[in-house]
């Protein structure tokens, strides 16, 4: 029983961290117009893509772990 609760807590943490990464990604998107003025939009777009991918991977991992704990 403790194992299931630990997995459920870990999956919730991964989901929360993934959501926090997406919020940080939105902050980078907020500063994107200034990157166009300076001419560094490629760097900002790559950071946005990397953060979005990291957040997505963390959230998918969390959902997968949560689904596996409900099946047990």
Please give the residue that has the higher pLDDT: either 69 or 60: 60
pLDDT of 59 reads 95
**Confidence band, pLDDT 50/70/90 cuts, at residue 72:** low
pLDDT digits (tens, 9 = 90+) for 2-60: 788 888 899 999 999 999 999 999 998 898 888 788 887 888 899 999 999 999 999 99
CA–CA gap between residue 71 and residue 43 (Å, rounded): 42
Q: Report the alpha-carbon distance of residue 28 to residue 33 in Å, rounded.
A: 10
pLDDT at 19: 94
């Amino acid at each position: 029983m403790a194992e299931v609760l630990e997995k459920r807590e870990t999956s919730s943490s991964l989901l929360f961290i993934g959501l926090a990464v997406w919020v940080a990604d939105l902050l980078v998107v907020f500063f994107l117009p200034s990157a166009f003025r300076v001419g560094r939009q490629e760097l900002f777009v790559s950071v946005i893509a990397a953060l979005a991918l990291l957040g997505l991977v963390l959230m998918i991992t969390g959902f997968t772990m949560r689904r596996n704990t409900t099946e047990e």
